[in-house]
Amino acid sequence: MQVSKRIVAVLIAMLLVVSLAGCGNSGASSDGKVNLTFQIWDVAQKEGMEAICAAYTEKNPNVTIEVQVTSWNEYWTKLEAAATSGKMPDIFWMHTNELLKYADNGMLADCTDIIEADKFSEISLSNVSGSDGTYYGVPKDKDTVGLVYNKEMFDAAGVAYPTEDWTWDDLVSASEKIYEATGKYGYMAYADDQLGYWNFVYQAGGYILNEDKTQAGFTQPATMEAMKFYIGLQSNDWCPDQNYFAETAPGTAFFSEKGAMFLEGNWNILPELQNYPDMVGKWDVAVLPKCPNPASGDGRAAISNGLCYATGAQNPNLEVVKDVLKFFGSEKGQRIQGESGAAIPAYQGLEETWVSCFEEYPVNVQCFIDMFDYSVQSVNNASRPEWKSKVSDELLKIYSGQVDLETGLSNMQTIVDEASAS
């Protein structure tokens, strides 16, 4: 008899809950001190996270919080192993890619009672919601995607810098002129989702998942038109193919001055300014170009995501940890995060704290904030871990010519639909 993946997941969850119930991670010491661990994956944000922790422990001297940094790939391997052994960190970042897996399997604590829900956007609240609608974390930050461009290359080609009125047609025209004038790539159309085609699909009035997240939209006419446009950019001399990106990331190419434009997330802007000081002043950021003929809407969309702070459901320090998380999600805690430059606070009204960190740099980071007005939540459902890599593999088959566009998109539709139905 074949056992469904959903039943297996439930059985695993039951085992994990049992194992977690009898185990702890840090705990209170004999002198009444509570020593907590806080796991993150971005070293660039360590200082900001330590600043928030320091603000809490200053008012609560019986608590210590150690911020630990682990690389992205190792982070999830270690967290899964820790969940299995009952030794999860007291506090950890949770990504929307993984949240449903952990939340729906009973591994995350309910944080509904410590969230000021009216202070966060619908997207931020959705980013911490399990399939049952419960909040399994406290919103940490929010992000959007902008068009990074090389001003010197635009100047050399006699092309005006991108504006909020730019369309896909302007993107193509500028790329052609820049390539003709400089021999450099124009727009570098990377086969990514949040930093690539997802934005174009939603601008065109298409979708990757329907509203109830049960079916894909790859065979919808608007989605197909957007994918035809985005994938077709590679056929131009001014756009590298995906073989190029297998060796060189778009950001690497851009800051090596080999290309004029690429999509970038706001979370990378400050590190890039710091890591490439010789490039400061040569580049800027603009809002995403819009679809000139959308099937619905005004042609504007930008994919938005956001992390949350979470803790294990069976954490022996749960009462103390939830108090810490409540502070992390408060106006004061979120303000400290923004002012550190770590990330845009999820707390509404504090976006400018992050913007202010860029006053010494000639870069228009305000554009990221402006796009929240029409941002779209990063595509996600409980089966995403199963279909995401398969969809990416199929997309590369379209790019390489192994399958035609219609066949490939149909295959992508089937991959998502079958995974979502299991």
| pLDDT higher than threshold 80 for residue 17 | no
Find, among 363, 315, 349, the residue nearest to 147 by Cα.
Answer: 363
Tokens of 208: 């990757």
In CATH, what is the architecture of 5-142+306-349? 3-Layer(aba) Sandwich (3.40)
| pLDDT higher than threshold 50 for residue 22 | no
* pLDDT band of 251, cuts 50, 70, 90: very high
DSSP 45: G
Q: Write the secondary structure of 198-211 as one string of H (helix), E (strand) and C (coil).
A: HHHHHHCCCCCECC
| pLDDT higher than threshold 50 for residue 206 | yes
CB of 205 within 8 A of CB of 229? no
Find, among 350, 358, 322, 356, the residue nearest to 334 by Cα.
Answer: 350
CB of 224 within 8 A of CB of 213? no
Task: Provide the pLDDT for residue 29.
Answer: 57
Find, among 394, 385, 383, 98, the residue nearest to 213 by Cα.
Answer: 383
Q: What is the CA radius of gyration of the chain?
A: 22
277-294 tens-digit pLDDT: 999 999 999 999 999 999
Which residues are CB-neighbours of 399 under 8 A, at least 6 positions away?
191, 231, 234, 241, 242
Task: Provide the pLDDT for residue 28.
Answer: 56
**Could you tell me which residues are beta bridge partners of residue 39?**
68, 92
Residue at token pair 């913007």 = 355
Find, among 184, 4, 27, the residue nearest to 90 by Cα.
Answer: 27
| pLDDT higher than threshold 70 for residue 16 | no
**This model's pTM is above 0.85:** yes
Task: Provide the pLDDT for residue 27.
Answer: 58
69-124 tens-digit pLDDT: 999 999 999 999 999 888 999 999 999 999 999 999 999 999 999 999 999 999 99
How much is the average pLDDT of 36-58? 97
Task: Provide the pLDDT for residue 6.
Answer: 45
* Proportion of the chain above pLDDT 70, given as a percent: 93
Strands (E), 13-158: 34-40, 63-69, 91-94, 138-139, 141-142, 145-150
* pLDDT band of 30, cuts 50, 70, 90: low
Q: Where are the domains of the chain?
A: 5-142+306-349, 145-304+380-421
CATH of domain 145-304+380-421: 3.40.190.10
